Amino acid sequence: MLALHALLILVLLGTALLGWWQWDAWRSEQADNATELLGRSPVALSDALGPDDPPAGEDIGIPVVAEGRYAPADEQFLVPRRNTDGKAGYWVLSPLRIEETGSSLLVVRGWTAQASPLPPVPTGPVRETGVLQPGEEGSGTVSPERMVAAVRIPALVGQTGGDLYGAFLLRMQPRYADPAAGRLEPVPPPVAGPAWSAGLRNLAYAAQWWVFGGFALVLWWRMCVDRLAAARLEDATEPQVPSPT
């Protein structure tokens, strides 16, 4: 019986460690898949999102290239209460008119600590690279200072004089001379969530090992119960030796 207990301990330790190893491999696959999105080569905006399309989950967080012209500086927005490196400030949100479609893409050109004056915009056609982000929840009311509490795209359609894409762009470092470069700091893109299928095989293996360990525990318990019942039955059926009078 002691050998059975020792074997159970070895089996439980083995299945627990093997399951944890596969679990850790699954987490690594998930993390690698999430960071891999930002390392992709940028695709054209038209290949990722149409002007009237809702953003799909697989398009959020991927690098895209958008070409167009910025609206005048006084048509920009400021999104307050956006922190970077522990400092409070504003996102500068600029409509970029995509000449191919006639719709505008809201671009977070950077972060600034100053609310006034609005930073200048590039003149002429530009080529922007950034990552797509979904619109935010919150009030879309625009103050006289062009401040808006959140990037709520449907609420900003009437403020841009045209149609808007269903996602906005977090701009990466521009490759041209931006006239507002001295006032704007880049906004680091958030790491997108990994695909649900990343590392799925490792997760299945982890579950398999732990289920096997649970099965071994149940089997051990059943054997112990059966042995105890057999011992009690043997004691009950053992003939009683009469005591001498």
Same domain, 69 and 126: yes
Q: Are residues 161 and 204 in the same domain?
A: no
Separation CA 165–CA 51 (nearest Å): 5
44 lies in some domain = no
Q: Say whether both 167 and 205 belong to one domain.
A: no
Percentage of the chain lying above the pLDDT 70 cut: 87
One domain for residues 97 and 146: yes
In this structure, the answer to whether residues 105 and 160 fall within a common structural domain is yes
Closest to 220 (Cα-Cα) out of 3, 13, 2, 4: 4
Q: What's the token pair of residue 177?
A: 């001379």
In a domain, 75, yes or no: yes
* Mean pLDDT computed over 67-93: 88
The three-point CA angle 34-90-181 to 5° equals: 85
123/205 same-domain check: no
Q: In this structure, are 71 and 146 located in the same domain?
A: yes
- Chain segment 139-167, per-residue pLDDT in tens: 767 788 888 888 888 888 888 878 899 89
pLDDT in tens, 14-66: 888 888 888 888 888 777 666 666 667 788 898 888 887 877 766 777 889 99
Give me the helix-helix angle, 2-38 and 200-237, nearest 10°.
170
Indicate the pLDDT class of residue 136, thresholds 50, 70 and 90.
confident
**Domain tally, the chain:** 2
232 and 165 in a common domain: no
Domain that holds residue 131: 63-171
Residues 145 and 213 in one domain: no
Q: Rounded distance, CA 48 to CA 63, Å?
A: 9
E-assigned strand segments in 72-120: 77-84, 87-97, 104-112
9 and 82 together in one domain: no
Instruction: Quote the pLDDT of residue 48.
Output: 86
pLDDT of residue 144: 80
Residues 70 and 149 in one domain: yes
163/175 Cα distance (integer angstroms): 27
| Residue 54, domain member (yes or no) | no
Residue 81 shares a structural domain with residue 116: yes
Other Cβ atoms less than 10 A from the Cβ of 5: the count is 11
